[in-house]
Amino acid sequence: MKEIKLKLAEFMQLFDELAGFNNQEGKQIEGILSSKMSLSTRYWLDNILKQCSIEKESVEKIKNELISKLGTPSEDGQSIMIPTYLESGEINPSFVEFSTEFGKLLEEEKTLTFKEIPVSLLDTIETELHCQVFFKLVEASNQTTPPIEEQA
Protein backbone atom coordinates (compact mmCIF):
# COMPACT_ATOMS: atom_id res chain seq x y z
CA MET A 1 0.00 0.00 0.00
CA LYS A 2 1.11 3.52 -0.77
CA GLU A 3 0.36 6.81 0.91
CA ILE A 4 0.16 10.27 -0.59
CA LYS A 5 -0.63 13.61 0.99
CA LEU A 6 -3.43 15.45 -0.78
CA LYS A 7 -5.08 18.77 -0.05
CA LEU A 8 -8.73 18.53 0.90
CA ALA A 9 -9.55 20.29 -2.39
CA GLU A 10 -7.77 17.43 -4.18
CA PHE A 11 -9.79 14.83 -2.24
CA MET A 12 -12.96 16.54 -3.48
CA GLN A 13 -11.66 16.68 -7.05
CA LEU A 14 -10.58 13.03 -6.93
CA PHE A 15 -14.08 12.08 -5.75
CA ASP A 16 -15.53 13.76 -8.86
CA GLU A 17 -12.93 12.15 -11.12
CA LEU A 18 -13.89 8.71 -9.83
CA ALA A 19 -17.65 9.06 -9.31
CA GLY A 20 -18.54 11.69 -11.91
CA PHE A 21 -20.48 14.92 -11.48
CA ASN A 22 -22.93 17.30 -13.12
CA ASN A 23 -21.20 20.13 -14.99
CA GLN A 24 -22.39 23.75 -14.99
CA GLU A 25 -24.80 23.04 -17.85
CA GLY A 26 -26.34 20.17 -15.87
CA LYS A 27 -24.79 17.48 -18.08
CA GLN A 28 -23.76 14.31 -16.25
CA ILE A 29 -20.03 13.71 -16.65
CA GLU A 30 -19.24 10.09 -15.97
CA GLY A 31 -16.35 9.26 -13.70
CA ILE A 32 -13.67 6.64 -14.06
CA LEU A 33 -15.73 4.09 -12.10
CA SER A 34 -18.43 4.12 -14.79
CA SER A 35 -15.96 2.44 -17.17
CA LYS A 36 -15.51 -1.29 -17.61
CA MET A 37 -12.60 -2.64 -15.61
CA SER A 38 -11.49 -5.72 -13.77
CA LEU A 39 -13.15 -6.51 -10.48
CA SER A 40 -9.90 -6.08 -8.54
CA THR A 41 -9.28 -2.65 -10.10
CA ARG A 42 -12.85 -1.62 -9.27
CA TYR A 43 -12.32 -2.80 -5.68
CA TRP A 44 -9.20 -0.68 -5.18
CA LEU A 45 -10.67 2.38 -6.91
CA ASP A 46 -13.81 2.04 -4.80
CA ASN A 47 -11.58 1.98 -1.72
CA ILE A 48 -10.08 5.32 -2.81
CA LEU A 49 -13.57 6.70 -3.47
CA LYS A 50 -14.67 5.77 0.06
CA GLN A 51 -11.73 7.67 1.56
CA CYS A 52 -12.54 10.69 -0.62
CA SER A 53 -16.20 10.48 0.38
CA ILE A 54 -15.33 10.72 4.07
CA GLU A 55 -13.21 13.82 3.49
CA LYS A 56 -15.80 15.37 1.17
CA GLU A 57 -18.57 14.91 3.75
CA SER A 58 -16.40 16.52 6.43
CA VAL A 59 -15.58 19.49 4.19
CA GLU A 60 -19.25 19.94 3.22
CA LYS A 61 -20.30 19.87 6.89
CA ILE A 62 -17.76 22.55 7.83
CA LYS A 63 -18.71 24.60 4.76
CA ASN A 64 -22.39 24.51 5.74
CA GLU A 65 -21.54 25.48 9.33
CA LEU A 66 -19.52 28.43 8.01
CA ILE A 67 -22.37 29.50 5.72
CA SER A 68 -24.79 29.31 8.67
CA LYS A 69 -22.45 31.41 10.78
CA LEU A 70 -21.71 34.11 8.17
CA GLY A 71 -24.77 34.04 5.91
CA THR A 72 -28.22 35.54 6.05
CA PRO A 73 -31.49 33.67 5.51
CA SER A 74 -33.14 34.07 2.12
CA GLU A 75 -36.44 35.95 1.94
CA ASP A 76 -38.42 32.70 1.97
CA GLY A 77 -36.31 31.36 4.85
CA GLN A 78 -35.54 28.16 2.94
CA SER A 79 -31.81 28.75 2.57
CA ILE A 80 -28.90 30.76 3.89
CA MET A 81 -26.85 32.82 1.49
CA ILE A 82 -23.66 34.83 1.51
CA PRO A 83 -23.97 37.38 -1.31
CA THR A 84 -20.71 38.39 -2.94
CA TYR A 85 -21.72 42.05 -2.98
CA LEU A 86 -23.72 44.24 -0.64
CA GLU A 87 -26.63 46.30 -1.98
CA SER A 88 -24.23 49.27 -2.03
CA GLY A 89 -22.10 47.42 -4.60
CA GLU A 90 -19.22 46.88 -2.20
CA ILE A 91 -17.77 43.44 -1.62
CA ASN A 92 -19.52 41.72 1.27
CA PRO A 93 -17.06 41.35 4.20
CA SER A 94 -18.84 38.13 5.20
CA PHE A 95 -18.16 36.73 1.73
CA VAL A 96 -14.48 37.66 2.04
CA GLU A 97 -14.31 35.96 5.44
CA PHE A 98 -16.07 32.86 4.08
CA SER A 99 -13.74 32.68 1.07
CA THR A 100 -10.67 33.09 3.25
CA GLU A 101 -11.71 30.49 5.85
CA PHE A 102 -12.99 27.98 3.31
CA GLY A 103 -9.86 28.45 1.19
CA LYS A 104 -7.67 27.69 4.21
CA LEU A 105 -9.69 24.54 4.88
CA LEU A 106 -9.28 23.32 1.30
CA GLU A 107 -5.50 23.75 1.59
CA GLU A 108 -5.29 21.40 4.60
CA GLU A 109 -3.56 18.12 3.80
CA LYS A 110 -4.59 14.58 4.67
CA THR A 111 -3.10 11.22 3.79
CA LEU A 112 -4.71 8.90 1.25
CA THR A 113 -3.77 5.21 1.42
CA PHE A 114 -4.05 3.30 -1.84
CA LYS A 115 -2.70 0.44 -3.88
CA GLU A 116 -0.66 1.86 -6.73
CA ILE A 117 -2.40 1.73 -10.06
CA PRO A 118 -0.16 0.82 -12.98
CA VAL A 119 -1.00 2.51 -16.25
CA SER A 120 -1.49 -0.88 -17.90
CA LEU A 121 -4.66 -1.41 -15.84
CA LEU A 122 -6.13 1.77 -17.29
CA ASP A 123 -5.73 0.92 -20.97
CA THR A 124 -9.40 -0.02 -21.35
CA ILE A 125 -10.82 2.93 -19.40
CA GLU A 126 -12.23 5.75 -21.50
CA THR A 127 -13.16 9.11 -20.01
CA GLU A 128 -13.64 12.68 -21.14
CA LEU A 129 -12.21 13.92 -17.84
CA HIS A 130 -8.75 15.29 -17.29
CA CYS A 131 -8.03 13.33 -14.13
CA GLN A 132 -5.31 15.54 -12.69
CA VAL A 133 -5.45 14.20 -9.13
CA PHE A 134 -6.04 10.60 -10.16
CA PHE A 135 -2.92 10.70 -12.32
CA LYS A 136 -0.91 11.49 -9.19
CA LEU A 137 -1.84 8.02 -7.98
CA VAL A 138 -0.88 6.21 -11.15
CA GLU A 139 2.45 4.50 -11.09
CA ALA A 140 4.19 6.27 -13.95
CA SER A 141 7.18 3.95 -13.87
CA ASN A 142 5.00 1.05 -15.09
CA GLN A 143 3.90 2.82 -18.26
CA THR A 144 4.28 0.82 -21.41
CA THR A 145 5.11 2.69 -24.56
CA PRO A 146 3.03 1.59 -27.53
CA PRO A 147 5.12 0.43 -30.46
CA ILE A 148 5.85 3.02 -33.13
CA GLU A 149 4.17 1.98 -36.35
CA GLU A 150 6.33 1.89 -39.41
CA GLN A 151 5.45 4.52 -41.93
CA ALA A 152 4.51 3.28 -45.39
Tell me the pLDDT tens digit for each residue of 84-112: 999 999 999 999 999 999 999 999 999 99
| pLDDT for res 124 | 75
Domain that residue 77 falls in: 2-142
* Mean of the per-residue pLDDT values of the chain: 87
User: Quick one: pLDDT band at residue 133, thresholds 50, 70, 90?
Assistant: very high
Q: Has residue 148 been placed in a domain?
A: no
| pLDDT for res 3 | 85
The number of distinct structural domains making up the chain is 1
| pLDDT for res 138 | 85
CA distance 112 to 53: 12
CA distance 83 to 63: 15
Q: Has residue 152 been placed in a domain?
A: no
Q: Has residue 36 been placed in a domain?
A: yes
| pLDDT for res 149 | 52
